[in-house]
Amino acid sequence: MAKRQTFEEFCAEEGIPEITIQDQGPLSPSGRRSERSRQAWIKKEDERLSRWGEALRKYQGLINSGEVVDPTGRYWPIITRPKSEIEAEALIRRADELESLANRGMSPRKFRKEAAKLREQAKPRLSR
């Protein structure tokens, strides 16, 4: 059975602090900051955000594999389709458009011939 776990619980389990916008990092009380201090803050923030991004990718991977279910409903399994299937659907849509134009009297022979070619191109891509 899949484990019910929110992203926040996952981050706590992994030891990753919650992402919050609380740091007024680049500014000092006087409104000035040295370049060295600013660069150090940027590096620290970059590391923190990249850890958070890695945790999000890992959590989404667990959801995709079915090991974890997000009880909040914010994260769902991402189902990817093969590129060839998407391309085949685009070819078929274009063929349908050409057929529609031909049925309305616009270059009927030319457009039907082109639609037939597109459908032939789509067949091998759908069978993979």
pLDDT band at 128 (very low <50, low <70, confident <90, very high): low
pTM of the model: 0.55
Residues 11, 42 within the same domain: yes
Residues 60, 90 within the same domain: no
Question: Would you say residue 92 lies in a domain?
Answer: yes
- Tell which of 39, 69, 99 closes a domain: 69
- Tell which of 69, 94, 111 closes a domain: 69
Question: Would you say residue 77 lies in a domain?
Answer: no
pLDDT digits (tens, 9 = 90+) for 71-97: 888 888 888 888 888 899 999 999 999
Residues 9, 65 within the same domain: yes
Residues 16, 51 within the same domain: yes
Residues 55, 28 within the same domain: yes
What is 7-76 written as a DSSP string? HHHHHHHHT-PPP-----TT--TTS---HHHHHHHHHHHHHHHHHHHHHHHHHHHHHHHTSEE-TTSS--
